[in-house]
Amino acid sequence: MNYASYIFLIPLLPLAGFALLGLFGKKYFNESSGIIATVLILVSTLLSLYTAYNYFIAEGIINGAYPSITAFHTSWLSFSKNLSIDIGILIDPISVMMLIVVTFISLMVHIFSLGYMKGEKRFATYYAFLSLFTFSMLGLIISSNLFQIYIFWELVGVSSFLLIGFYFDKPSAVAASKKAFIVTRFADLGFLIGILLLGYYGESFEFSTLIRQLTDVQSSQSIAITTGTFAGISILTWGLILIFIGGAGKSALFPLHIWLPDAMEGPTPVSALIHAATMVVAGVFLVARLFPIFSLSEIALSVITVVGLSSTFIAAVIACTQTDIKRVLAYSTMSQIGFMMFALGMTGTENTLGYTASLFHLFTHAFFKSLLFLCAGTIIHFIHSNEISAMGGLKKYIPLTHLTFLIACLAIAGIPPFAGFFSKEEILLAAYNSNKLVFGIALLTSGITAFYMFRLYFSIFYNKQMEIQNPHSEGSFSIKFPLVVLAICSIVVGFIPFGNFVAADNKILESHLDFRFSFAPVVIGGLSILLAMYFYKNENDKPNKVASFWGKIYQAAFRKFYVDELYIFITKKIIFNFIGRPAAWIDKNIVDGLVNETARTIEKFSYMIKGIQSGKVQHYLLYFFGGIISLLIVFVYLWK
Amino acid sequence: MLTDFLLLMKQELLLVAIIFILVFIKLGSKERSNESLLNAINILLLINLIAGIFNSQTGTLFGDMFNTNQLFIFEKNILNFGVLIISLQSYDWLKKHKHLIEFYLLLLSALLGMFLMLSSNNLLMFYLALELSTIPIAALCNFDLEKRKSSEAAFKMIISSAFSSGLLLLGISFFYGTTGTLNFAEIPATLNGNALQIFSFVLLIAGFGFKISAVPFHLWTADVYEGSPISVTSFLSVISKGAVVFVLVSVLYKVFEPLSEYWYTILFLLSLLTMIIGNLFALRQQNMKRFLAFSSIAQVGFILIGISGQSLEGTASVVFFILIYILSNLAAFGVINLVSSKCDKESIGDYKGFYKSNPQLTWVLTIALFSLAGIPPTAGFFGKFFLLMAGAAKNNYLLITVAALNMVIALYYYLRVIKAMFMDANENPIEKIKIPFQPKLAMIICVAGIIILGIYSNCYQYIFSLIK
């Protein structure tokens, strides 16, 4: 099958949309710009599905494995004899899978925004940025070499900067977009140096060549990169860890996650696209893409596991204490990406379930998390506030949102038969087989996940009954349609036999789903939901009930009150103060503080040395002469 | 012999011809409008650029005093191109100026000095050419005749460069004392690394360091850049610096190759200092010109990393970077020049809300700053990437890491300007500026260059092929 004839259209159609809307959108078709962009991305989506059909079904397995096809390749720039920068399109199971995820979610967000962003002054600009982002993300996915992926990686950063800062008259949005850009850019430097190291030693940027040369223990490149050391650790490990830092920055892993909660200042559909399904999973994709090389270094894999695991736990605990609906979802995303990351980190050479599980979770997560964000969008649209305290009893006003939100919550909580159940089970099983401690933490975290998601659910849809005068409707068809589609996906995509399509060695991985094993996680998830229900379903009623019991059975009421208090004490005082608060404090003061402090120190130092620039020529010449003398001192005394 | 002379020194002779034409115009000048004169000069410069590209020959002249090769010719073409751009950008400023012919006389004399410096094959010749390229610039610095700061800049420039030339000459004298020759071809065989040679070599490097404003030889830069007219500032920071970097690469690689372990250490120290100090100062500048001055100091640090790679890729990446640097920096200076000459506003604060009134100029400046910050897919990213790649050949991870960190700091302050232009509100913004044809043309060329060099790759390969 000749993929080259149409595959390049998949990223180029959104690019055409960007060019068209960016240049002429405002003047000629402000109103219709949404439709134009949506139609273009619809065609991309259909082409992606067609590609997937051809790749997985029509062509299928050749010689026992899915082939890696280079659909298009051209040498673009040769730097030196054995190092050149190429442009290519690589088709293999993960890139095809990601094509579907990105185009499909992007399509849903495009449709949703038709209604959601209606009346926005910069409607055309919004769709232009959305198209640019989709183009960059698609380009990133099909890149066939490290250098190309880096360029698209940066483009993704630039376009998300534009989208987060879309409401640029809001100072907080501007600050958030700047923060996101700078933090991820900081991490990208690690990526860049990692690319330099791997490229220099591996003598190629091309994934296939690089993987072939480095996994062959006999090759000169492999010997050079494993025997060369810096600070006692091999260059290979350094390169991989640096690349992982780049991935961790984009994927908002601890401690590089600080930009993600702030990035919620962007329009909500943007969060559904960028911060749920696409950009934030780029790090997972990157590690998966280079996995054959990562599997060569035990240390690098351990780093990935530790970072992934700590992110997943810390984020889940913080999510329990947040009161802004989008921030809860942001931390939950961080936590779920942590799941994907540590699943990759635990994948060994024999047991490759973790790899499949990680990408499976990436796949299912994309659907239910973007659904959650879109629901949050309609809720915020309805209430005009992000705060949970301003919500309550919304079930009767926005029934469709309620239903779809519930499905997404069940999916993320890992309740069968929703999508999240299947992928999370695989991750837990992979963890169980590889390390019991990791498994324990993962199990606990999945319980916390169910708790905070249902805390959100009950606080929004039950809890206090709000009386809303003249409630406006839930939204137009274009808002409801994506919710329904994504809800259906959140139910059914779990049944896809993912192991048949994506595996570390591109062969078929037998699914190991064992329902006896699933018992514990599901029960823990169910109990967490009940706990959340107990606290948040009727929170405002409890004081009233207690008051009515005052006269009759004082003691019982007191005891009940006491138990209530105890529970509240445990969650609010102990969990919140001793775990949630410190976690938030570390987040705010140490991680954030470190960044701010560095900036302040640099600035202070900059003022300190200001004295040198005095404006007096004789001083300048003195420094000039001093420079010469110091250089001479270096050579005469220190050199030999 | 005569045809050799004419062909080999074609680019220099063309410049001399233009200088003479200008002198005659000046002597015979009655009442001529500045506009038509400027257009005529720009056309002459364009002819000069085009004539320089075609039919070039290589060889040596004057008993090995002067030599030229394909790379030098290409480098001279880059400089010619840069001067043409600066001339187009200065249109608005010069058309009101009384002494515009003198401006060009001095500018082209300095350019001639740079050409001779590139082609010099002898230390003495090199010294003379260096002086020829410096002294006219000091006079140019004073060209905002009624401004006190401009005179101060010229004064500081001449004093500091006299000091550095003095030390350079001292170095050359010592050098002659230990080697007995000044000819570039003969020097490598006589180098043995004794203390006197090292001493004179350090003096020589300091002379170069002064011209490219490497830290700690950079202190004159900020004051001179700020005080001079913007056209002169851009000439100083782009053309003059570029020319000296070209010379530095070829001198270090060819003539002082035996001392490479020494100069590697010097470049290492200087580039660390230059990047860090340049960026730290750039962080808190409020004046656009000073801001660009310090950011261009930091850029020099990156160039030094590329040079330290000591390979064919080193040369190619440095030349490629300078080409991109000329385009990016001139695009930025072009906007600032226009704003300064129309509204007399130079501080970053004045640029708040610039996007509202002048979207086109804002985009030009944004693209230029993105390129300077090294954000893909602008050309600046590739320039920096190649420099780091060339430097990485020495496996000096400290240097690469510091360079990478400095890229982030630089990004921060470039973004600060972009943020001010796009996002900050301003009650008294710069009014809508009507862009005359010449500066507009220069800006279009620069922006197109920044984007095309980022996408179209053959340029680097072309430079690479010139070196072999």
Mark B257-295 as b/e (b = at least 16 C-beta within 10 Å): eebeebbbbbbbbbbbbbbbbbbbbbbbbebbbbbbbbb
Round to whole Å and give the CA distance between B440 and B434.
Answer: 10
CB B68 within 8 A of CB B52: no
Q: What letter would DSSP give residue B54?
A: S
**Model confidence pLDDT, tens digit, residues B251-310:** 888 888 888 888 888 888 888 888 888 888 787 778 888 888 888 888 999 999 889 888
Residues of A in contact with B377 (CB under 8 A): 151, 154-155
Mean pLDDT throughout A105-121?
A: 85
* Residue in A with minimal Cα distance to B281: A606
Out of B195, B222, B376, name the one closest to residue A154 (CB): B376
Partnered with residue A324 across adjacent β-strands are A387
Among A74-88, A296-310, B188-202, the minimum mean pLDDT is found in: A74-88
Residues of B in contact with A602 (CB under 8 A): 280, 283, 409
Looking at chain A, the whole-number percentage of residues with pLDDT higher than 90 is 2
In this model, does residue B79 exceed pLDDT 90?
yes
| DSSP state string for A263-281 | GGGS-HHHHHIIIIISGGG
Residues of B in contact with A610 (CB under 8 A): 281
Residues of B in contact with A151 (CB under 8 A): 376-377
Mean pLDDT throughout A174-200?
A: 79
Cβ separation B376–A605 shorter than 8 A: no
Cβ separation B397–A230 shorter than 8 A: yes
Cβ separation A631–B217 shorter than 8 A: no
Provide the token pair at A43. 């065609």
Q: What letter would DSSP give residue A230?
A: E
Left if phi > 0, otherwise alpha if psi is -120 to 50, otherwise beta: which for A351?
beta
Distance in Å, alpha carbon of A295 to nearest chain B alpha carbon:
24
Q: How do strand B66-68 and strand A83-91 relate by DSSP bridges?
A: unpaired
- For residue B407, what pLDDT is reported? 82
Cβ separation B411–A631 shorter than 8 A: no
Q: How do strand A233-234 and strand A229-230 relate by DSSP bridges?
A: antiparallel
Looking at chain A, the whole-number percentage of residues with pLDDT higher than 70 is 82
Q: Where does the pLDDT of residue A204 fall: very low under 50, low under 70, confident under 90, or very high at 90 and above?
A: confident
Cβ separation B160–A150 shorter than 8 A: no
Round to whole Å and give the CA distance between A469 and A467.
Answer: 6
- Give which of B58, B116, B47 is closest to B83, Cα–Cα: B47
Cβ separation B377–A621 shorter than 8 A: no
CB A372 within 8 A of CB A412: yes
Round to whole Å and give the CA distance between B235 and A102.
Answer: 48
* Residue in A with minimal Cα distance to B384: A192
In this model, does residue A561 exceed pLDDT 50?
no
**Amino acid of residue A148:** Q
- For residue B244, what pLDDT is reported? 92
Cβ separation A77–B210 shorter than 8 A: no
Task: Classify B98 as helix, strand or coil.
Answer: coil
- For residue B325, what pLDDT is reported? 92
Distance in Å, alpha carbon of A202 to nearest chain B alpha carbon:
13
Round to whole Å and give the CA distance between A112 and A267.
Answer: 12
CB A303 within 8 A of CB A268: no
In this model, does residue A65 exceed pLDDT 90?
no
Burial (CB count <10 Å: 0-12, 13-18, 19+), residue A401: buried
**B377: preceding bond cis by omega (within 30 degrees):** yes
Residue A93 CB neighbour total at 10 angstroms: 23
Cβ separation B376–A77 shorter than 8 A: no
Cβ separation A181–B404 shorter than 8 A: no
Cβ separation A609–B375 shorter than 8 A: no
Task: Suggest the residue from B149, B160, B219, B260 to mutate for an interface test with chain A (most A CBs closer than 10 A).
Answer: B219
CB B140 within 8 A of CB B228: yes
> Mean pLDDT score of chain A, rounded to an integer?
78
- For residue A233, what pLDDT is reported? 78
Mean pLDDT throughout A262-276?
A: 82
Distance in Å, alpha carbon of B398 to nearest chain A alpha carbon:
11
A187-191, B188-192, B367-371, B423-427: which is most confident: B367-371
In this model, does residue A558 exceed pLDDT 50?
no
Distance in Å, alpha carbon of A216 to nearest chain B alpha carbon:
24
Residue A399 CB neighbour total at 10 angstroms: 12
**Model confidence pLDDT, tens digit, residues A390-411:** 777 777 778 888 888 888 888 8
Round to whole Å and give the CA distance between A524 and A419.
Answer: 17
- Give which of A395, A389, A355, A361 is closest to A375, Cα–Cα: A395
Report domain extents, chain B. 2-467
Mark B55-86 as b/e (b = at least 16 C-beta within 10 Å): ebeeebbeeebbbbbebbbbbbbbbbbbbbbb
Cβ separation A151–B156 shorter than 8 A: no
Among A155-159, A498-502, A519-523, the minimum mean pLDDT is found in: A498-502
Q: Helical H runs in A435-476? A: 436-461
- Give which of B332, B248, B235 is closest to B291, Cα–Cα: B332
Round to whole Å and give the CA distance between B257 and B263.
Answer: 9
- Give which of B359, B387, B383 is closest to B372, Cα–Cα: B383
Round to whole Å and give the CA distance between A314 and A186.
Answer: 22
- Give which of B270, B293, B271, B269 is closest to B282, Cα–Cα: B293
In this model, does residue A565 exceed pLDDT 50?
no
Residues A200, A206, A208: CA angle, nearest 5 degrees: 120
- For residue B114, what pLDDT is reported? 93
Partnered with residue A206 across adjacent β-strands are A145
Cβ separation A192–B404 shorter than 8 A: yes
- Give which of B215, B238, B214 is closest to B225, Cα–Cα: B238
**Model confidence pLDDT, tens digit, residues B157-203:** 888 888 888 889 998 998 888 888 888 888 888 888 787 888 888 88
Q: Where does the pLDDT of residue A545 fall: very low under 50, low under 70, confident under 90, or very high at 90 and above?
A: very low
Cβ separation A617–B220 shorter than 8 A: yes
For residues A571 and A513, the model is more confident at A513
Residues of A in contact with B156 (CB under 8 A): 617, 620
Task: Suggest the residue from B457, B465, B467 to mutate for an interface test with chain A (most A CBs closer than 10 A).
Answer: B457
- For residue A313, what pLDDT is reported? 84
Residues of B in contact with A639 (CB under 8 A): 262, 265
Q: What is the CA radius of gyration of chain A?
A: 26
Round to whole Å and give the CA distance between A40 and A17.
Answer: 7
Out of B392, B393, B461, name the one closest to residue A78 (CB): B461
Give the pTM: 0.69
Partnered with residue B178 across adjacent β-strands are none
Q: What is the CA radius of gyration of chain B?
A: 21
Cβ separation B217–A635 shorter than 8 A: no
Cβ separation A624–B164 shorter than 8 A: yes
Residue with tokens 């809720």: A379
Round to whole Å and give the CA distance between A184 and A246.
Answer: 7
**Amino acid of residue B441:** L
In this model, does residue A487 exceed pLDDT 70?
yes
Residue with tokens 């500048």: B285
Q: Where does the pLDDT of residue A556 fall: very low under 50, low under 70, confident under 90, or very high at 90 and above?
A: very low
Dihedral angle computed from the Cα positions of residues B281, B282, B287 and B290, in that order, rounded to the nearest 10 degrees: 80
Provide the token pair at A167. 């409401």
Residues of A in contact with B400 (CB under 8 A): 193, 196
Residues of B in contact with A635 (CB under 8 A): 198, 202, 262, 265
The residues near B224 (Cβ < 8 Å, ≥ 6 apart) are B141, B153, B156, B157, B233, B236
Task: Classify A79 as helix, strand or coil.
Answer: strand
ipTM: 0.72
A413-422, B238-247, B408-417: which is most confident: B238-247
Task: Classify B374 as helix, strand or coil.
Answer: coil
For residues A324 and A43, the model is more confident at A43
